[in-house]
A = this chain, B = another copy of it.
Amino acid sequence: MGAVKGKRMPRAVRERQMMDAAVQTFAQLGYRAASMDEIAELAGVSKPLVYLYLNSKEDLFTACIRREAAALVDAVRAAVTPGESADRQLWSGLRGFFTHTAEHPDGWAVLHAQARTQGDPFAREVAVMREEIVAFVTLLIAEAAREAHRNPSLPEREVAGLAEALVGAAEALAAWANTTEGVSAKEAAATLMNFAWAGLGNLMRGEPWAPPR
């Protein structure tokens, strides 16, 4: 390949460098405070080049959200082996989720702390990703209920609510783990698995919590 000169670097590589710099800058300074100057400097390119490639700060932010959202969804899907038992799939999915958010704290901050909190159209981009994850978890819970019951007795709406609860818990826990000293991805995943499954496990056996007499 030989030495790669600045001008000869493929567009895809340059773009990735700019987006890496942008994700880091948006995560650490916040969307509003981040400037195209800082992003260009961190990426080691000129500001006009950033505009040429990625058009505007809004478009750059949108591109970052889409990239980070796709990477997170891919990481969760890749961690899960279809056909395994539901609890094993959930455990694998949680490990995948918390490992990815721990290894990409800036990406997670862009999705959870920045994009969600800057109103539309950015919040909408994250909402689409979230819906995809909720749908995935909903299927998993419905499958677990079928496994346990054969004749499924968990109403569809209950399953949807449980999926919302699980995803909300995972979001909160990822934000907490990334800002709390010494919490590993595996610990965070184990905490949520204990919380969710020991609970879901009982539900699946038709043994919900009942108010004490």
Contacts and interface: CB of A to CB of B under 8 A. Distances in A.
Contact of A199 (B30, B119, B123, B199): B199
Nearest to A90: B209
Nearest to A115: B117
Interface in A155-193: 157-158, 160-162, 164-173, 175-177, 180, 182-183, 187-188, 190-193
A191 B161 contact: yes
A176 B199 contact: no
B180 A173 contact: no
Contacts of A180: 157, 160
Contacts of A188: 161
A59 to B, nearest CB: 20
Interface residues of A, number: 53
A164 B176 contact: yes
A91 B197 CA distance: 19
A164 B157 contact: no
Contact of A166 (B169, B182, B193, B212): B169
A87 B32 CA distance: 43
Contacts of A190: 208
B172 A164 contact: yes
A28 interface: no
